[in-house]
Chain A
């Protein structure tokens, strides 16, 4: 139906997402006005609580653009948190070492999985499914108990605040500025860098070409395997970084942490207009996907009586809805 207009199907999907986000947030502002939905801080909190997810979803977007997928990111996050907590609390390492370890773990996952997928030609889903179980199991091997992080430098990072020039007034009429922690700054920088990388750099354009049609990309003379490998490595690195940001939020490492995060990341990317078949997707769209996920959880928390697993159900339903739309649009395109 929308095909006759000039707008492309992908632009259409992104538009749905952005409109959906604003409608949902506006609905939240109207229904839960007393819970502070209208406050600027509430909006910023969407970023604050999802900073790690944002970075991870960006990495996933890059992989999904090539037509691949990575479902190990949730486990990598749990592993990163656990390793950081273990290093700082039990091994006496400094926070800097822990951060390096976090990024290293992500990178290692990216390299191994990327190698198996691109050079060994194994289905990405199987490889990363194994990675998912491997990561979660390794987390349990390090410790089955929760380790809370008490490292002073780390907590200083976690509790640092950038205050905004705007804010809201509390009941006594005192002005409280809105704030964002460093995690949000890092996450937004990552989104921006990814957007630039994908839009204006050679590497980014290659990714789209490969995702669009691997065969023609190969015939055009692109180094398909090497580029895809790099995409997985980058994704792994971002998963490590995302895990670090996640850890700054939770300040603890435990086995059950970030369970289902891969689902959140994938659905964020898909809701943000990334095609599962590859070739289409933008980090900005993914960001809106993450914001929608955040809005759903805030709405359900604000509602109060619904349990937390409703977030998962609603998100799954939304993912299903977008997948179906994608499929319908794709088949409409084919007929045309």
Chain B
């Protein structure tokens, strides 16, 4: 990509996400010169950049699911944050056996994890059914769980915060044994690799793109577009479940009100920032992953600038609006009008596919 001409670079799919990431990192380096310093303290890696990568893990996992949903249905799943809370609540409740705070597992860990993932998959299936089978706009369909999800999570935990004070439970959000790298990073990497492999090795990725580009046409060539859309929502749900388990392991509890709060916005932002068109169709998993790290870097930067958690959404909302405006047809036409020489050159279709 480096040796091609400037125009080709700027029109590549991954151009926007990489530029954004570099911009955010540059700001950080200027503000805090030791941003890239990585040291080992207490036997674990320590530093700003490690923190960003660690904290971004849930977001990366969510962004992968959101990318697939966006590509197939042309809409976003805004219930992912709530689904995280549901999965965490189910998992912790099974582990605690109904008590609010335990120091020992009451049920096997594997059972809890499976139940949590199953609950998340059910949430995804519910969304998928509404969207794929009943043809309801994705955001309205997922709005139901967006609001009801945290209530359901409260219901599961009886309105309390369930604490699991067991070391092996803290591993998923902390460190495994003497490994200096935080575990969530592995979760993120493994998830991305598995999903990428599935998409590459099977035709699923291609199917999802074709359903997203033109559902009717995909159906006419023999693809079961309903099933594929449904599947993306189930995958998105399961991934949200994994993210929920990691998030709950970090705080070794199920806090129904705060797990995954406002993360749906970050996930959508990551997908948009990754150069994916929010109206569906072609997608780039790598773009979304880069987008997710960019968002987390941005969040960390804003925190470092003493912006409170409640106020963060303002800046993120502005970024979203700018990105979708840049992506919009009207804006592209406007640019094309400016560059009237080679009108076809501006359509960002070229570039390497990730």
Residues of A within 8 A of B141 (CB): 323
Size of the A side of the interface (Cβ < 8 Å), in residues, is 44
A36 at the interface (CB under 8 A from B): no
A323 touches B313 (CB 8 A): no
Do A120 and B152 form a contact, CB below 8 Å, given A69-B140, A125-B139, A319-B144? no
A220 at the interface (CB under 8 A from B): no
Residues of A within 8 A of B146 (CB): 263
B308 touches A119 (CB 8 A): no
Q: Which of B155-196 contact A (CB under 8 A)?
A: 155, 159
Instruction: Looking at the assembled complex, report how far the CB atom of B225 sits from the nearest CB atom of chain A, in whole angstroms.
Output: 16
Residues of A within 8 A of B151 (CB): 309-310, 312-313, 316
Q: Which of B140, B310, B320 contacts A144 (CB 8 A)?
A: B310
Instruction: Looking at the assembled complex, report how far the CB atom of B326 sits from the nearest CB atom of chain A, in whole angstroms.
Output: 10
Residues of B within 8 A of A123 (CB): 75, 278-279, 324
B330 touches A119 (CB 8 A): yes
The closest CB in chain B to the CB of A264 belongs to B147
Helix, strand, loop or mixed for chain A's interface? helix
Do A141 and B136 form a contact, CB below 8 Å, given A122-B325, A312-B148, A320-B144? no
B262 touches A133 (CB 8 A): yes
Instruction: Looking at the assembled complex, report how far the CB atom of A150 sits from the nearest CB atom of chain B, in whole angstroms.
Output: 24
Q: Which of B276-326 contact A (CB under 8 A)?
A: 278-279, 308, 310-318, 320-321, 324-325
Cα-based distance from A137 to B140 in the complex (angstroms): 23
Q: Which of A122-139 contact B (CB under 8 A)?
A: 122-123, 125-127, 129-134, 136-138
A130 touches B321 (CB 8 A): yes
A71 at the interface (CB under 8 A from B): yes
Instruction: Looking at the assembled complex, report how far the CB atom of B295 sits from the nearest CB atom of chain A, in whole angstroms.
Output: 13
B331 touches A120 (CB 8 A): yes
Instruction: Looking at the assembled complex, report how far the CB atom of A82 sits from the nearest CB atom of chain B, in whole angstroms.
Output: 12
B147 touches A141 (CB 8 A): no
Residues of A within 8 A of B139 (CB): 69, 71, 125, 129
B99 at the interface (CB under 8 A from A): no
Interface size class, chain B: 35 or more
Do A137 and B144 form a contact, CB below 8 Å, given A120-B328, A129-B265, A276-B137? no
B324 touches A317 (CB 8 A): no
A140 touches B152 (CB 8 A): no
A141 touches B140 (CB 8 A): no
Residues of B within 8 A of A310 (CB): 151
Instruction: Looking at the assembled complex, report how far the CB atom of A206 sits from the nearest CB atom of chain B, in whole angstroms.
Output: 22
Using an 8 Å CB-CB cutoff, how does the interface string of A62-90 with B read, 1 for contact, 0 for none?
A: 00000001010000000000000000000
A312 touches B147 (CB 8 A): yes
Cα-based distance from A312 to B143 in the complex (angstroms): 12
Cα-based distance from A324 to B268 in the complex (angstroms): 26
Cα-based distance from A331 to B201 in the complex (angstroms): 37
Instruction: Looking at the assembled complex, report how far the CB atom of A78 sits from the nearest CB atom of chain B, in whole angstroms.
Output: 11
Do A263 and B278 form a contact, CB below 8 Å, given A138-B314, A327-B134? no
Q: Which 3 A-B pairs have the closest CB atoms?
A: A140-B310, A137-B314, A133-B313
Q: Write the residues of chain B forming the contact surface with A, with a CB cutoff of 8 angstroms.
A: 75-76, 78, 130, 134-137, 139-141, 143-148, 150-152, 154-155, 159, 262, 265, 268, 278-279, 308, 310-318, 320-321, 324-325, 328-331
Additional A-B contact list (11), CB under 8 Å, known A134-B318, A323-B136: A69-B140, A120-B328, A126-B268, A129-B268, A130-B324, A140-B308, A144-B310, A260-B147, A276-B137, A309-B151, A328-B134
| A-B contacts, 28 listed (Cβ < 8 Å) | A69-B140, A119-B330, A120-B328, A121-B328, A123-B278, A126-B268, A126-B278, A126-B324, A127-B321, A131-B317, A132-B317, A133-B314, A137-B312, A137-B317, A140-B310, A141-B314, A263-B146, A266-B143, A276-B136, A276-B137, A276-B140, A309-B150, A312-B147, A313-B152, A316-B144, A323-B141, A323-B144, A327-B134
